[in-house]
Structure 1
């Protein structure tokens, strides 16, 4: 069962789609109101909740078939949301993600101990930065995550184009007006520095044929996460997968690795809780 909804944030009305858990035959499992783990999907730079080649639609439906309540949404100024994407930058995206968490946790039957952010590309950095300041987030899954927001987005936009950005002005990138404030916000946030504030478990996945965000970021993320005092970090590399996992094989592997890892983490936590009792 899927519902299109609107979530109010300070800066925009965020278009979103809510997927209730289903069994393998597609029957909704809402009636018995067991406590469901929650996955919130954070899309990347000038993306949408649909994703390239419908990646996030496929992911949400797969996750819901595995017993997760899933919420995918458009950041302000993207997809069907209101607002101006290029005006605010990461500060606004973090606050919008927290507004989505606020909404999601008002839904009946959400398991507050299993709130998971799945972030792709710039959405990976946004998910991480959100988790670093919001302890309601318990688990992170990073798909092809940006590690240096300012440098990575400048490289995507084009350095020569960025250098033409007037002070206090904007540049046009595929119809999005990216302001100097937007880029200033990107430079202010350093995921490698902030990640130590998050003590939950993390899965890092990256495609080896990613020509947008370097695959080298994945082992660096793992190394930095393992330097924390709490929480573990696992890494999975998907051979020949591009930035958006555009082949059916790479999408299948991405979703399998993600759901298998989440199942292992849940089993481990349950066994630990049973042992401590």
Structure 2
């Protein structure tokens, strides 16, 4: 059973949340999926993942970050003003709120205390950082994870500071998507603390699954190798998906699954089942 929820955060930002597998909520572990940059909960493979994991016996939560740019249409970038104001720290705060909603029985009564984070791309890094500071997370799966948020040249940063914004182009929607200086300021303020991916990995003391396509052009597989290098090998599983790109050969609108993506899903479920 699928059910939609609406929640306003402590900062009065709106979160649209979809729960898959509500019939499992009483006894099942919870998986929270975290979308990436220019992503959203209903992007391409999202609903397929929700249905897949719920059929495996999990409660699965998908949500849109309040400033991901997607409004009430749920599939179109109609709130580019909010997108411009987004920060990494805000996303961590909102993921923490979703975790707390589950723990407080917002979605319904549960007797299972296991919570797993599965994140894609930037959302994988947000998941990792959150798991490193939240003891209630039992394990985290990183799909196509970035090894750093600092992905801009010094020249780009100089122009960013000069203009007060930086535009990125969405090749799918043909939209110029603005990032305000607040994102860069957030990164620079917290680069050695909250947003330091290396530090988070070195102190992570829970199971970690890293999956990355060797044909990923957006986030090269060398970043996954760096993440694995920083991780505690006692708790870490690293899987290279040969022949897979950044979204594991899935598209939006969704055109169906494929062997590479099915392999990723199977490996992720096995990782979680071995813990739960």
For Structure 1 versus Structure 2, the TM-score category normalised by the shorter chain is 0.7 to 0.9
Query: Paired residue for 1:257?
Result: 267
Secondary structure of the 1:223 match is helix
* Structure 1 contact 43–120 (Cα < 8 Å) conserved: yes
* Structure 2 contact 4–19 (Cα < 8 Å) conserved: yes
Q: CA RMSD in A?
A: 2.2
Secondary structure of the 2:212 match is strand
Q: CA deviation at 1:124?
A: 0.7
Query: Paired residue for 1:139?
Result: 139
Q: TM-score, normalised by structure 2?
A: 0.81
Deviates more, 1:162-171 or 1:247-256: 162-171
Rounded to whole Å, the distance in 1 between the matches of 2:71 and 2:9 is: 14
Query: Paired residue for 1:172?
Result: 167
Query: Paired residue for 1:74?
Result: 64
Alignment of 1:1-277 (within 5 A): 1-11=1-11, 12-20=13-21, 28-29=23-24, 33=26, 35-51=27-43, 54-78=44-68, 79-80=70-71, 84-105=82-103, 106=105, 107-109=108-110, 111-112=112-113, 114-151=114-151, 154=152, 163-167=158-162, 169-173=164-168, 174-187=175-188, 188=191, 189-226=195-232, 232-247=235-250, 248-266=258-276
Secondary structure of the 1:150 match is coil
Deviations 1:76-102 (A, max 9, x none): 122337782332411101001001111
Q: CA deviation at 1:46?
A: 2.0
Aligned residues: 246
**Where does structure 1 lack aligned partners over 5 or more consecutive residues?**
22-27, 267-277
Q: CA deviation at 1:37?
A: 0.3
* Structure 1 contact 74–80 (Cα < 8 Å) conserved: no
Rounded to whole Å, the distance in 1 between the matches of 2:162 and 2:91 is: 22
* Structure 1 contact 139–202 (Cα < 8 Å) conserved: yes
Secondary structure of the 1:36 match is coil
Name the one with the larger helix percent.
Answer: 1
Deviations 1:220-272 (A, max 9, x none): 22222126xxx600011101100011252221111111112222233xxxxxx
Q: TM-score, normalised by structure 1?
A: 0.81
Deviating 4+ runs (over 6 angstroms):
none
* Structure 2 contact 116–272 (Cα < 8 Å) conserved: no
* Structure 1 contact 38–110 (Cα < 8 Å) conserved: no
Secondary structure of the 1:165 match is helix
Secondary structure of the 2:41 match is coil
Q: CA deviation at 1:108?
A: 1.1
* Structure 2 contact 147–226 (Cα < 8 Å) conserved: no
Q: CA deviation at 1:60?
A: 1.3
Secondary structure of the 1:111 match is coil
Q: CA deviation at 1:167?
A: 4.1
* Structure 1 contact 6–16 (Cα < 8 Å) conserved: yes
Rounded to whole Å, the distance in 1 between the matches of 2:21 and 2:94 is: 22
